[in-house]
Structure 1
Amino acid sequence: MKRTEALAGLSREHHGALVMAQRIAAGALSPADLGRRFDRELNPHFLAEERFLLPFLERAGAAALAERTRHEHDEMRRLAAAVEEGDADALASFGIALREHVRFEERELFVAVEALLKPESLRELGQCLTASS
């Protein structure tokens, strides 16, 4: 699906997250690799969404979607920490959570952002996201 320019960068990052989730499911991503990639790729993505995207969404009246997103981010942070602490089962759980979270964002969250935000708000959001990267 073609995304508005404001969300295009985040959407492209979702592709990498889905590849990561597939590698976890295939047993091709080690706990150490997850830790590095989480810190370098996923957590900065989560932080950008939390700092910029979710406040726009809340102001547009979709606080429940924003809260769900934060909750899922926190759960993946918890799972990543459990992996780092040696919990072998947490890696598979993380991969499943990541896959489902990306699907949620692409199918529900981003659709709501594009429907609820006015063009000027989408432009402002895009500028904030670009400036933060």
Structure 2
Amino acid sequence: MKRVQALKALSNDHHQGLVLAKRAMQAADEYKPAKMVWAEMTMHFSDVLEPHFQIEEATLAEPLRAAGETELVERLEREHAQLRAFFQPGQARGYEELKAFGELLKAHIRFEERELFEAAQEKLSEHQLQQVEAACR
């Protein structure tokens, strides 16, 4: 999918996210030490995923909602909340949760690339897209 320059940094994050999702699912399938894998997932979440989520929510959500893409924005927010929930204190962190996290992250990235970013490229102004790019710096 051809991506406008303003969204390329977010798309590049998605590549890393897909690698992480695959690693989580494989680790669950192969019964790798869950505690070690969750430590890696947690570090990546705080360093990459959470800032990525914040940029999308701050720069894409309201402009897309204003452009009539309410369902896409609601899905974005719902899935971000679901992904964040895996990292809340007291959450179970076994193989089942690891696999569920990987599957959700993969599906969420595919949704953003195939639907959300396509809508953003089509419906947002150049100024709005530049705000996304600036937030990624």
Whether TM-score is above 0.5 comes out as: yes
Residues 72 and 127 (structure 1 numbering): CA distance in 2 closer, same or farther, change over 3 Å? same
What does residue 53 of structure 1 align with? Answer: 60
Q: How far apart, CA to CA, are the structure 2 residues paired with 1:131 and 1:87? A: 32
Unaligned runs of 5+ in 2: none
1:8 is matched with: 8
Q: CA deviation at 1:85?
A: 4.0
Is the counterpart of residue 87 in structure 1 residue 96 in structure 2? no
Equivalent residue letter for 1:93: A
Report the secondary structure of 1:35's partner residue: helix
- Partner-residue secondary structure (3-state), 2:2: coil
2:18 matched to which residue of 1?
A: 18
Instruction: Give 3-state SS (helix, strand or coil) of 2:68's partner.
Output: coil
- Structure 1 length-normalised TM: 0.87
1:115 Cα shift?
Answer: 1.7
CA distance in 1 between partners of 2:126 and 2:61 (Å)? 12
Q: Give 1:27-106 correspondences, 5 Å limit.
A: 27=27, 30-81=37-88, 85-88=91-94, 89-106=96-113
| In structure 1, distance between residues paired with 2:131 and 2:109 | 22
CA drift of 1:103 comes to: 0.3
**More off after superposition, 66-75 vs 25-34:** 25-34
Unaligned runs of 5+ in 1: none
Structure 1 stretches of 4+ with a deviation exceeding 3 A read none
Q: Are 2:127 and 1:123 aligned?
A: yes
Check conservation: 1:17, 1:99, Cα contact below 8 A. Answer: yes
Q: 1:114 to 1:33 in 2, by over 3 A?
A: same
TM-score, normalization: structure 2? 0.85
